[in-house]
Chains A and B, each alone.
Chain A
Amino acid sequence: MTTLKNPSRRNFLKSGAVAGGALVIGVQIPHALAKAAVKTSMPNAWIRIGSDNSVTILVARSEMGQGVVMALPTLVAEELEVDLKKIKVDFAPPGEVYINGMLGGQITGGSTSVRDGWDKLRIAGAQARIMLTEAAAQQWKTDASKCTAKDGVVTGPGGKKATYGQLAEAASKLTPPKEPKLKDPSQFRYVGKSLKRLDSASKINGTCEFGIDVKLPGMKYAALAQCPVLGGKVTSFDASAAKSMPGVRNVVQITDGVAVVADSWWQAKQARDALKITWDEGPNKSLTTEGVFKGLAGAMAKPAASIKQQGNVAEAMKTAAKKVEATYEMPFLSHSPLEPMNFTADVRKDSALLIGSIQFQQMALGMAAGITGLKPEKITIKTTYLGGGFGRRIDLDYMAQAVEISKAIGAPVKLLWTREDDLTHDFYRPASLTQMQGGLDASGKPVALSLKMSSPSVTARLFPPLVKDGVDPLMTEAILVPYDIANQSVGTVIHDTGLRVGYLRSVSHALNVFANESFIDELAVAAGKDPYEYRLALLDKQPRFANVLKLAAEKAGWGKPLPSGTARGIALMEGYDTYMAQVVEVSIANSAIKVHRVVCAVDLGRMVNPNIVEQQIESNIVFGLTALLYGNITLKDGRVQETNFDKYKLLRMPETPKIEMHIVQSTEKPGGIGEPGMALLPPAVANAVFALNGKRLRKMPFTLA
């Protein structure tokens, strides 16, 4: 993801950071912890040390499965010199210090958590260790160079010992060293090691608290009726039946619809279903899937915003020995995290408490301040574990709804959506069309490539100032091929189809990698070359690409015979500073694609925890297979037609292929791993299906009938 710089938002972040800012310099925190006899000190914004020697590391990113709750504390603990198994973790409040330097806000997204934290968190750990050591040295009237810190204990001359808990208060009063020396990677004790996650135990025994599990004293439960057409509004409603139902306390109209508040969620949901609402369905009431793609095709006639112009494509095409053309089509997709949208808010006259599954803490604070009229420092935001995110929880609609309901009824409330609400009120991954043309010389080498893509822009909705000269940087990820092709013309046309769109795992990488890696395969076929050899020959100047391509091909046994009815496909990409190649083995039975084996070669530079890296690669493979086999949000009369998992299918265990991962040992700077892999499956599988039966799949999800 490209750096987001939004001036107005940054200004807000400054005011919003006041609450969190106090923690940064605050030596002691006055809230709940103070109730216990334990005294807590904070050498910096990331670390709390208790007089009982407890060490809590704050995580400023949301945990949605990708492992930040393990990876980020590992970076701190490595330099802090504490036993990683004994630390506790807590999610950070909104605060300027916690802003993601790669995104310009306290956002979890763009596979940035480790990349942003790699230096920052190790420095924080080292600073605290040095301050603790210095505090011990001062106490012992010796020089800090004669003291060492390990496993939460500072040892000085003559075997003197002091625990971090004993030193923390004094240490917190010292000035942090500006440029602490960090460990050489050869000294790493935790970083780079395959360690088990610290959050697993609670997720296995059922005690892990997700947003949906929050309970506040006196809390009521809400269910919300929203217009079945996105963008529609309430005209009028009759709540008489709903109000007479058991447990119902309030029926309130809010911006997005009509909410029923009851003593239990089931009662609220039953009563919501009994509401009679007349909707003004708004401008999208006639949207259809056909209309959407007609619009995208029409947008192709418009001039493209230029992403790359190199050489002269028109001239090169004139003299090309062979020309190839293809158009690729991607549908809308839903995030569908398994925890449906929900949020808990307790809005009072002079304060507000917001708790739940969120990916963008500062925007949440700004939203709550806007709705409640409270100053940001009067608003407390607590992030729970997220039951999946995939980008959905960057948007704040469900939080704003809970805040509005709580404000209206003057009581704490938990709003919970049904799965149907969730699937039909998502911010969908943009549908897209990509037209490609290629020209080959007499030897089959590509000499010209043109790409024109049309798609709605998420950034135009969420961060409009970032769209410059018609280019959305989050629509053009991986849009440039790594291949050495002399003449290239690449451009995009932003086209709003009416349906609201959002960032979804791997964002535009998935759209562009599908088109590019399918098309290079089509060029190889036109050239009569092996798709692997063809790619490799064009990667002389791209060693990291070439390396993973070779590794995947070798481990997969590229070129070796397969059982009849089975074929291989290959695809390659870079995303989030991570280089990846995949080889898939595919067969077809009863007109259905079966993926048997996925071999994935990955170079993501240095890793914090290979165990989590492997989890994320597996996760992306399953996610990508879901998209290519099933992912399809369709529209009729402005309504999303896929209302539950019977119509919006997700991959299940029997469909899961054998997955083999080969990770390059690398000293390059860390790359992101939470997102890129899913983008490779569609082209790799399409290429394999072509190798199998000569049918080229250019439209997702893939159907063979």
Chain B
Amino acid sequence: MISLTVNGKARQVNVDPNTPLLWVLRDTLGMTGTKFGCGAQLCGACTVHLNGQPVRACGTPVSAAVGKKVTTIEGVGATPVGKKVQAAWNEIDVPQCGYCQPGQIMTATALLNSNAKPSDADIDNAMAGNICRCGTYPRIKAAVHKAAGTKGA
């Protein structure tokens, strides 16, 4: 048995410790908000937080999450910054197909946790690892600024 803390709750899972955290979240715990896009840490759709740091759940063995706080899209709204980011996403009406958005929101929340007033370039740098095939980038950037209370170029 592996003990995890996911969105503040203690969870026990009986899986191979090498199983990527993504599949433990999705298939074992039924938390499907975290998405599978590439399986190779290239697209960011599976981004979750480990102790507040953004990580790619597809490339993180579940064993690496033991003893750390895992935060997912299902729980990020309970944090002050996550709540603000989701509200901004609503305000700007960001999603199209919506599939990448949980990962985008997790990355944006981590950015604002470490840099409360990001510039355009800061946002570009932080969000560059998250692909949106629908091309919602202009709205994502606007939403990050909105959440931060900053203005874009």
Q: Which A positions have Cβ atoms within 8 angstroms of B? A: 63-67, 196-197, 199-210, 212-213, 215, 221, 246, 264-266, 336-340, 385-390, 416, 418-420, 611, 615-616, 618-623, 644-646, 650-654, 656, 659
| B135–A419 touching, CB < 8 Å | no
| B131–A338 touching, CB < 8 Å | yes
| B40–A621 touching, CB < 8 Å | no
Within 8 A of A (CB), among B100-153: 100-102, 105, 123-125, 127-141
| B128–A644 touching, CB < 8 Å | no
| A650–B131 touching, CB < 8 Å | yes
CB distance from A134 to the nearest CB of B (A): 37
Q: Give the distance in Å from the alpha carbon of A340 to the alpha carbon of B36 in the complex.
A: 8
Known: A338-B100, A339-B35. 13 other contacts (CB 8 A): A65-B97, A197-B95, A200-B98, A204-B105, A205-B86, A246-B16, A338-B35, A338-B97, A340-B37, A390-B133, A618-B135, A654-B125, A656-B141
> Could you say which residues of chain B place their CB within 8 Å of the CB of A221?
27
Given the known interface contacts A206-B73, A212-B35, A212-B36, the answer about A653 and B123 at a Cβ–Cβ threshold of 8 Å is: yes
Residue from B19, B42, B74, B97 within 8 A of A644 (CB atoms): B42
Given the known interface contacts A619-B135, A619-B136, the answer about A206 and B95 at a Cβ–Cβ threshold of 8 Å is: no
> Could you say which residues of chain A place their CB within 8 Å of the CB of B86?
204-205
| A623–B90 touching, CB < 8 Å | no
Q: Give the distance in Å from the alpha carbon of A367 to the alpha carbon of B23 in the complex.
A: 30
> Could you say which residues of chain B place their CB within 8 Å of the CB of A386?
97
Q: Give the distance in Å from the alpha carbon of A200 to the alpha carbon of B105 in the complex.
A: 13
- Chain A CB within 8 A of B51 CB: no
Q: Give the distance in Å from the alpha carbon of A264 to the alpha carbon of B24 in the complex.
A: 9
> Could you say which residues of chain B place their CB within 8 Å of the CB of A67?
96
> Could you say which residues of chain B place their CB within 8 Å of the CB of A420?
39
| B99–A419 touching, CB < 8 Å | no
| A338–B43 touching, CB < 8 Å | yes
Which of B26, B28, B135 neighbours the largest number of chain A CB atoms within 10 Å of its CB? Answer: B135
Q: Give the distance in Å from the alpha carbon of A622 to the alpha carbon of B136 in the complex.
A: 8
- Closest A residue to B74 using CB positions: A206
> Could you say which residues of chain B place their CB within 8 Å of the CB of A659?
138
Residue from B34, B36, B97, B131 within 8 A of A206 (CB atoms): B34
Given the known interface contacts A200-B93, A204-B105, A212-B35, the answer about A615 and B136 at a Cβ–Cβ threshold of 8 Å is: yes
| A196–B23 touching, CB < 8 Å | no
| A618–B138 touching, CB < 8 Å | yes
Given the known interface contacts A212-B32, A246-B16, A653-B128, the answer about A205 and B98 at a Cβ–Cβ threshold of 8 Å is: no
Residue from B30, B36, B39, B97 within 8 A of A388 (CB atoms): B97
| B72–A206 touching, CB < 8 Å | yes
| B35–A622 touching, CB < 8 Å | no
Given the known interface contacts A210-B99, A266-B19, the answer about A338 and B94 at a Cβ–Cβ threshold of 8 Å is: no
Q: Give the distance in Å from the alpha carbon of A202 to the alpha carbon of B101 in the complex.
A: 10
- Chain A CB within 8 A of B33 CB: yes
- Chain A CB within 8 A of B2 CB: no
> Could you say which residues of chain B place their CB within 8 Å of the CB of A202?
98
Q: Give the distance in Å from the alpha carbon of A63 to the alpha carbon of B99 in the complex.
A: 12
| B98–A199 touching, CB < 8 Å | yes
| A388–B99 touching, CB < 8 Å | yes
- Chain A CB within 8 A of B77 CB: yes
- Chain A CB within 8 A of B4 CB: no
CB distance from B28 to the nearest CB of A (A): 7
CB distance from B71 to the nearest CB of A (A): 12
| B131–A652 touching, CB < 8 Å | yes
- Chain A CB within 8 A of B54 CB: no
Q: Give the distance in Å from the alpha carbon of A623 to the alpha carbon of B132 in the complex.
A: 10
Given the known interface contacts A205-B77, A212-B32, the answer about A419 and B37 at a Cβ–Cβ threshold of 8 Å is: yes
CB distance from A384 to the nearest CB of B (A): 11
CB distance from B23 to the nearest CB of A (A): 4
Could you list some 8 contacts between A and B, CB below 8 A?
A: A338-B43, A338-B99, A338-B100, A418-B39, A419-B37, A618-B136, A618-B139, A654-B124
| A387–B137 touching, CB < 8 Å | no
> Could you say which residues of chain A place their CB within 8 Å of the CB of B123?
653
- Chain A CB within 8 A of B38 CB: yes
| A645–B95 touching, CB < 8 Å | no
| A387–B38 touching, CB < 8 Å | no
> Could you say which residues of chain B place their CB within 8 Å of the CB of A615?
93, 96, 136, 139
> Could you say which residues of chain B place their CB within 8 Å of the CB of A387?
35, 97-99
> Could you say which residues of chain B place their CB within 8 Å of the CB of A389?
97
Closest 7 CB pairs of A and B: A206-B33, A622-B135, A203-B98, A387-B99, A65-B97, A65-B96, A206-B73
| A645–B135 touching, CB < 8 Å | no
- Chain A CB within 8 A of B45 CB: yes
| B94–A651 touching, CB < 8 Å | no
CB distance from A337 to the nearest CB of B (A): 6
Given the known interface contacts A212-B36, A618-B138, the answer about A645 and B97 at a Cβ–Cβ threshold of 8 Å is: no
> Could you say which residues of chain A place their CB within 8 Å of the CB of B40?
419, 644-646
- Closest B residue to A659 using CB positions: B138
| A656–B27 touching, CB < 8 Å | no
Within 8 A of A (CB), among B16-73: 16, 19-20, 23, 26-28, 30, 32-40, 42-43, 45, 72-73
Q: Give the distance in Å from the alpha carbon of A200 to the alpha carbon of B92 in the complex.
A: 10
| A266–B27 touching, CB < 8 Å | yes
> Could you say which residues of chain A place their CB within 8 Å of the CB of B26?
265
Q: Give the distance in Å from the alpha carbon of A646 to the alpha carbon of B138 in the complex.
A: 23
Q: Give the distance in Å from the alpha carbon of A67 to the alpha carbon of B134 in the complex.
A: 12
- Closest B residue to A656 using CB positions: B137
> Could you say which residues of chain B place their CB within 8 Å of the CB of A210?
35, 99
Q: Give the distance in Å from the alpha carbon of A213 to the alpha carbon of B43 in the complex.
A: 18
| A199–B72 touching, CB < 8 Å | no
| B27–A264 touching, CB < 8 Å | yes
- Closest B residue to A657 using CB positions: B138
Residue from A204, A264, A416 within 8 A of B95 (CB atoms): A204
> Could you say which residues of chain B place their CB within 8 Å of the CB of A208?
98
Given the known interface contacts A338-B35, A339-B99, A385-B97, the answer about A204 and B27 at a Cβ–Cβ threshold of 8 Å is: no
Which of A64, A385, A388, A418 neighbours the largest number of chain B CB atoms within 10 Å of its CB? Answer: A388
Given the known interface contacts A196-B93, A387-B99, A651-B135, the answer about A264 and B28 at a Cβ–Cβ threshold of 8 Å is: yes
Q: Give the distance in Å from the alpha carbon of A206 to the alpha carbon of B48 in the complex.
A: 12
| A388–B101 touching, CB < 8 Å | no
Q: Give the distance in Å from the alpha carbon of A611 to the alpha carbon of B36 in the complex.
A: 28
CB distance from B98 to the nearest CB of A (A): 3
Q: Give the distance in Å from the alpha carbon of A209 to the alpha carbon of B99 in the complex.
A: 10
CB distance from A15 to the nearest CB of B (A): 32
Which of A266, A339, A418, A659 neighbours the largest number of chain B CB atoms within 10 Å of its CB? Answer: A266
Which of A63, A212, A386 neighbours the largest number of chain B CB atoms within 10 Å of its CB? Answer: A212
Given the known interface contacts A206-B74, A652-B128, the answer about A65 and B23 at a Cβ–Cβ threshold of 8 Å is: no
- Closest A residue to B123 using CB positions: A653
- Closest B residue to A386 using CB positions: B97
CB distance from B113 to the nearest CB of A (A): 18
| A203–B101 touching, CB < 8 Å | yes
Q: Give the distance in Å from the alpha carbon of A213 to the alpha carbon of B25 in the complex.
A: 12
| B94–A200 touching, CB < 8 Å | yes
> Could you say which residues of chain B place their CB within 8 Å of the CB of A623?
133, 135
Q: Give the distance in Å from the alpha carbon of A623 to the alpha carbon of B90 in the complex.
A: 23
